[in-house]
Amino acid sequence: MIESIVNVAGLTLDLGSPGQPLIRRLMAALRDGVRDGRLPAGTALPPSRTLATELGCSRWVVTEAYGQLVAEGYLNAAQGSVTTVRALGVADDHGPTRRSQPDRRPRFDLAPGVPDLAAFPRARWADCYRRAVLERETGLLGGRSLLSTIDARSVITDYLVRTRQIREDPSQLNLSSGATDAVGWLARLLSAGGHRRIAVEDPSWPGLRDAARRAGLQLVPIEVDGDGLRVDQLDDHRVRAVICTPAHQFPTGVAMSADRRLALIDWAHRVDGLIIEDDYDAEFRYDRRPVASLQGMAPDRVVLVGSVSKTLSPAVGLGWTVLPQQLIMRILSEDLELRTGPSTFTIDAMAAMISGGWYERHLRAMRLTYRRRREALLAALLELLPEATVRGMPAGLHVVVDLPAGTDVENIVDQAARREVAVAGIGRYRLRSDPAESSLVLGFGNLRSGRERDAVEILAAVISTAGSGAGGRDRSRG
């Protein structure tokens, strides 16, 4: 017998009358619980098997409901095998990690990790999603395969072959809910296979590090310099796996040099290791074509991880991994709880965006927008903060601003928030603190075009008064 009242994470949810399919009632009850705060952000939901038993229904009903709500932005499947409630707002897949700030949205959003949310192609995405729902064959509505559908896999694989020069076939493409989700289950596979440690860039994006840490892996910080990851330091630690961002390192903004790329691949072969290549910001290069993926050079040693969190929106909740052949059978043999990912409708909608040419058309338009926005931000920084040094190649959605030694970056971040300007200090992204470091990471993805100078003007005023630390004294410029 299917129950109409169910306990979820200590909360009793009423699934309503049985006049509608159970999956729709379950999704509606969970949505309502998240919206009204009865299921607060971070709440862990029951495993699909447990909830299905309590409901007296097929496990597919629960996994499909969870998957759909992940795609809609209500749930997060990135934390291990546990599905959790996501804070309503921007999803955390390479999204901002901010300090305590006013609840209202900042007037000037210079936080890194956020694309232009207003530019999301709503009408086109809605049309593709509608087509995915209407055209899906009835026989294919019964569940979701770990490796998705053949047609959608082929479309996405062809896109990656064309744009990222990968070397694999559609059978090695896995669809995830985003980069954090993908790194989480990859880390669990590594842990189950005997790995105890994993190397990570320092500084780097905390979300991916935390996903590996939650899987039980000890993090080994590796320095980053002007050529990218210090590959020579890997041999100093007993590691056989590394997470890195060769195309555009976050947050330093450098690309891994050709010599380092070859050295990293050589290391992986020598130690029988695995490289998890986070394809961060690879789509946004403004001076030349992006460098090809590492995966195309060593498909047997590299897992390519990508997502649409920057190109479309984090709320879409869709990403991909291109896997070495030797991992495929292992993944397929893992417990189903590892197989998080977007709904089949989301996958099919994305495939339609690509095959129709709309996705790449959107990317071309956004490259032009972001390039102009970056140029305007750099001009404002040069004019209003001449003592600062801006670094980072012409790529991505952020720049690093080095301030004079001794600048109180944390105070600047706090005071800027009070002036409704969201910024981040580079120290937030470090595993090992560097007291001598005084740099800001400024994002321009979600900053409205034409407001760059206004934002920097306020930031410059904050730096002049808050940068010297306690007491609010003006910082000498001469």
**In whole angstroms, how large is the CA radius of gyration of the chain?**
23
> Residue 198 maps to which CATH number?
3.40.640.10
389 and 422 fall within a common domain:
yes
- Look up the domain containing 167 and give its range: 122-360
163 and 277 fall within a common domain:
yes
pLDDT attached to residue 18: 63
pLDDT digits 0-9 by tens, 343-380: 888 999 999 999 999 999 999 999 999 999 999 999 99
Confidence of residue 334 (pLDDT cuts 50, 70, 90): low
Helix (H/G/I), strand (E/B), else coil: 46: coil
Helix (H/G/I), strand (E/B), else coil: 1: coil
pLDDT attached to residue 16: 59
Last residue of a domain, one of 85, 113, 134: 85
pLDDT attached to residue 435: 76
Confidence of residue 470 (pLDDT cuts 50, 70, 90): very low
Last residue of a domain, one of 338, 360, 382: 360
**18 burial via Cβ count (<10 Å: 0-12, 13-18, 19+):** exposed
Rounded to an integer, the average pLDDT of 406-411 is 90
Rounded to an integer, the average pLDDT of 380-389 is 95
State how beta strands 218-225 and 197-202 pair: parallel
Top pLDDT among 69 and 16 is at 69
pLDDT digits 0-9 by tens, 263-322: 999 999 999 999 999 998 889 999 988 888 999 999 999 999 999 999 999 999 999 999
Top pLDDT among 97 and 366 is at 366
Last residue of a domain, one of 290, 325, 360: 360
Rounded to an integer, the average pLDDT of 334-345 is 63
Confidence of residue 50 (pLDDT cuts 50, 70, 90): confident
366 and 335 fall within a common domain:
no
Answering whether pTM is above 0.85, one says: no
Q: Round to whole Å and give the CA distance between 347 and 132.
A: 9
Q: Report residue 108: phi and psi, to 5°.
A: -125, 110
Q: Is the pLDDT of residue 146 over 80?
A: no
Q: Is the pLDDT of residue 453 over 60?
A: yes
Rounded to an integer, the average pLDDT of 133-160 is 73
pLDDT attached to residue 337: 46
262 and 375 fall within a common domain:
no
pLDDT attached to residue 47: 84
77 and 143 fall within a common domain:
no
- Nearest residue to 174 (alpha-carbon basis) of 305, 83, 348, 281: 305
172 and 64 fall within a common domain:
no
pLDDT attached to residue 23: 82
pLDDT winner (highest mean) among 70-79, 180-189, 431-440 = 180-189
233 and 378 fall within a common domain:
no
Whether residue 203 is preceded by a cis peptide bond, meaning omega within 30 degrees of 0, is yes
* Total number of domains constituting the chain: 3
